[in-house]
Structure 1
């Protein structure tokens, strides 16, 4: 009996803890022991292979990789945020009151994002330098009671959009360098009581816009881009009672027109094609 027990213990030690009582019974022959031993060894190999595979998967997806030396871990950069996700982060700052300005310059925004800003009571500034905004995108501007400054690049705002901006009574600065409005749309801005600065360009604007701008009596600064302003248009602009700064790019004003302006309105700070004219008696180095 003692010999039987010892033989049983020897078999158990050979097979390991995974062997069952049936596999090491007293009646098991040498061939059975060999078969069981082989089965146990195969299970261990499969288990080891599975473990190595899991380790490899974890290394690939667990947020790190190894250098060629096999020692120092290297961080794996997370996937970049989508434009909507980045916009949502900015929107959260506006909603909790920690920010009063929205400035988009590192990713593209669209109409659907902009309309998500409805009712932000503290929003004062909207600057969009990337992406394209249409009339539909600015429909919520009228829900910003403190909106003061709007700059929309690459945005073809038409007369419909200008009518929307005209409802924003707290605005003092409007900058639309890629608009698609007519002079009629620009004239709508006179409904803004304290509008101080207007910068605009549109392929639909010509010299006639000067008469409409002259009706916006509160203006202090004007910048017209690629609009064929004539000498007569210049006189209309100069008639504004509070005009301090006038920038004209690629206008049709002649040398005699400029001389007339400097003689009659020397207080107006003038830039022509982004630089001072030689006729300007107040010409001096200037940084835009």
Structure 2
């Protein structure tokens, strides 16, 4: 059940204790007061908040993530286009034991945020689009004990390329790898996934990679779902400025 914050009725919180209901209502109001362009909330049958999606919130800072402690049943969190958010507030998410999915995009979410979450017991899905994380941060992502899905999309900066993608191969629980908008090679990164114990799906989207490298990847994983969408003449103009800036040499 998807609910806009403005439509969350009090009776939905009737299934939880009055104290917890008050805490959740107060935290939701505090987030609402930041005036995000989009704010969506989902609740379980007991009325507890299980999913929050925030988009276009210029005033959201890392300290505001302390409000998420009021949502012990939170399973999904998505924050996008919040330019003051750098990921240090991820320390407030470490006690959310049911958190399974985190998506950040258009933020400065950094390696520090991944470090805070590196031992989270239930985090299974991670999406990092146009964020501040780098190759080094992928070490922390690979340490997550139950990580199954990851998407990284550095928008043709040099933040994440072969070195970071190679680090992700250290995750023995990873099943689904998606990499967008970067340069990749077989020898530099993809060869590290040969004989990976759990990998089922690889999706390389809008990447620059050689055809022979793609064939080697497919040969390594005959039973996996390997999809590759190389950057073509139609989509390349969208990223050409970034390519020239970061990869000219």
Q: Sort the TM-score into its range (normalised by shorter chain).
A: 0.5 to 0.7
1:85-142 Cα shifts (integer Å, max 9, x gaps)? 667x978979x84321112247656124332112531111101234232123322110
* Pairing 1:249–2:205 present: yes
The 1-side partners of 2:133 and 2:142 are apart by: 15
Deviating more after overlay: 131-140 vs 117-126: 131-140
Q: 1:273 aligns with which of 225, 229, 242?
A: 229
Which structure is higher in helix share?
1
How many residues matched? Answer: 193
1:262-285 Cα shifts (integer Å, max 9, x gaps)? 33322221222389xxxxxxxxxx
1:201-240 Cα shifts (integer Å, max 9, x gaps)? 3332221123211101110001112221102122223442
Q: Which residue of 2 aligns with 1:206?
A: 161
Q: Structure 1 residues 226, 90: CA separation in 2 closer, same or farther (over 3 Å shift)?
A: closer
* Pairing 1:145–2:97 present: yes
Query: TM-score w.r.t. structure 2 length?
Result: 0.67
Query: TM-score w.r.t. structure 1 length?
Result: 0.58
- Unmatched tracts of structure 1, length 5 or more: 1-81, 276-288
> Which 4+ residue blocks in structure 1 deviate beyond 6 angstroms?
89-94
Q: Which structure is larger by alpha-carbon Rg, 1 or 2?
A: 1
Q: 1:194, CA displacement in angstroms?
A: 1.0
Q: How large is the Cα RMSD of the aligned pairs? A: 3.0
1:50-76 Cα shifts (integer Å, max 9, x gaps)? xxxxxxxxxxxxxxxxxxxxxxxxxxx
Q: Which residue of 2 aligns with 1:196?
A: 148
* Pairing 1:122–2:77 present: no
Which structure is higher in strand share?
2
Q: Structure 1 residues 161, 261: CA separation in 2 closer, same or farther (over 3 Å shift)?
A: same
Q: Which residue of 1 aligns with 2:54?
A: 104
* Pairing 1:227–2:182 present: yes
Q: Which residue of 2 aligns with 1:26?
A: none
Q: 1:180, CA displacement in angstroms?
A: 1.8
